[in-house]
Every structure is written in C-alpha cells, then in structure tokens.
Chains A and B, each alone.
Chain A
Amino acid sequence: AQSVTQLGSHVSVSEGALVLLRCNYSSSVPPYLFWYVQYPNQGLQLLLKYTSAATLVKGINGFEAEFKKSETSFHLTKPSAHMSDAAEYFCAVSDVPGNQFYFGTGTSLTVIP
C-alpha cells in the first residue's frame, strides 16, 4: 500500500524567503514520487519527479526536492519565494510512473509581499 502525508495544510512565507513544503511517503515498493502545483480552477502542473535516479531532483520554476529513503521524505524547496508561487501543492506517490497515483492532501502556499 502507498500513501503520502503532507505536513501543514497552509504555509505562509515572505517574498524572497525559503519555501519548504513537507511530504512523507509510505510505500511497500521503491516509490516514484511527484510534486504538482495547482492554480485556482486549473489542472495539475508537474513540478518535478523522482524515478529512482538522482536523489536531488530539480524541477521547474526553481523548485527542487530531495528523496531521503531513511526519512521516507520528499520535501519540496525553493530558495526564494515569488508572488507567483502562491498556489496549492500536491505530493503524490506511485509504484511505477504510469500507475495509480496516491495524492497527499495538499499544501496551500501563501506568499506575503
């Protein structure tokens, strides 16, 4: 069975500050992990994904995430927040990239000017 837990349903950061969104996973097999961003009334946009290659994954818009097996974590970070980063972020896990996704409950990011 697979699942993800996103700690913190709401995160607020100041513009220019570090963004850290937490995701912990549970998986009985080596996981494939994803971060998606969703803007209001829109679909999901893939930020980055881990598929068993490099543990530090760089994505779009300056985001990156590090897969830590010992901590079962895949936290999303960005060194400097922009106003345009304000959105809902979802972490997801799958046993293989094309199979069913299990999504976390999401984290709403607010960027304060």
Chain B
Amino acid sequence: GAVVSQHPSWVICKSGTSVKIECRSLDFQATTMFWYRQFPKQSLMLMATSNEGSKATYEQGVEKDKFLINHASLTLSTLTVTSAHPEDSSFYICSAKELYNEQFFGPGTRLTVL
C-alpha cells in the first residue's frame, strides 16, 4: 500500500522558535496533501489542504501566517510552525492522496513547545 512518512516523529523546541515538519509520499505522487492537528484525547481537526504548486487552503480559524504550508513537489509538503508557543503543542498528522484516489495518513509528529 501507499506509504506516507513524516519527519521528525517528535520535536521539542523553545517558545518563539520555528519548527518545520515534513510530509512525504514515498511511492506515489501526492497531488493533494492535508494537514491535521490533534490535541490529546481529541479528534483530528483539518488545518489546511495543499495542492502541489499552489497555495494552501486554510480552514477557518487557522492562522496561515503562523502555520506555513509549502507543497513544492509531488512528494513533499512541509508545515512550518512559526514563533511557536506552548499552546501550539500538539500532534500533527499529514495525509496525502494521488488525484482521485484515497488518502493515506502519515505516522504523525509530536510537537512540544517549552
């Protein structure tokens, strides 16, 4: 089956710094990637949808200047949390799909902001 990887799997950073999370489709071309956020014991909330080569579409309430998403190639999307604060600590999960095929989820990245 299709494989989606995320790097890093966990990261700890100081408040005010920026953190970049990578999402890669390993064996298919991901025309669309989704970024989700999951707080402890809660469901996944869609943050944004990115199509290769175009700007990401952010869900209501998600600050696009804080959560920068780049989908520069068909196998890579990055999420950069800028000026991270403790409230940004969360589990970030990406998913990827090829054209009209189903989504495949990455293993997630645990972000802890001190």
Contact = CB atoms under 8 A, between A and B. Distances in A.
Interface of A: 36, 41-46, 49, 90, 96-98, 100-101, 103-106, 108
B102 A97 contact: yes
Interface in B71-114: 91, 93, 95, 97-103, 105-108, 110
Contacts of B91: 41
Contacts of A106: 41-43
A42 B49 contact: no
Contacts of B107: 42-43
Contacts, number: 52
Contact of A105 (B34, B43, B95): B43
Contact of B44 (A46, A96, A103, A108): A103
Given A41-B108, A103-B44, 20 more contacts: A43-B106, A44-B44, A49-B102, A96-B100, A97-B101, A97-B102, A98-B99, A98-B100, A98-B102, A98-B103, A100-B34, A100-B46, A100-B49, A103-B43, A103-B45, A104-B43, A105-B42, A105-B43, A106-B41, A106-B42
Q: Is the interface of A mostly helix, strand, loop or mixed?
A: loop
A98 B106 contact: no
Nearest to A51: B102
B105 A43 contact: yes
B32 interface: yes
Contacts of A108: 41
A7 to B, nearest CB: 14
A79 B95 CA distance: 31
Contacts of A103: 43-45
Contact of B108 (A43, A46, A96, A101): A43
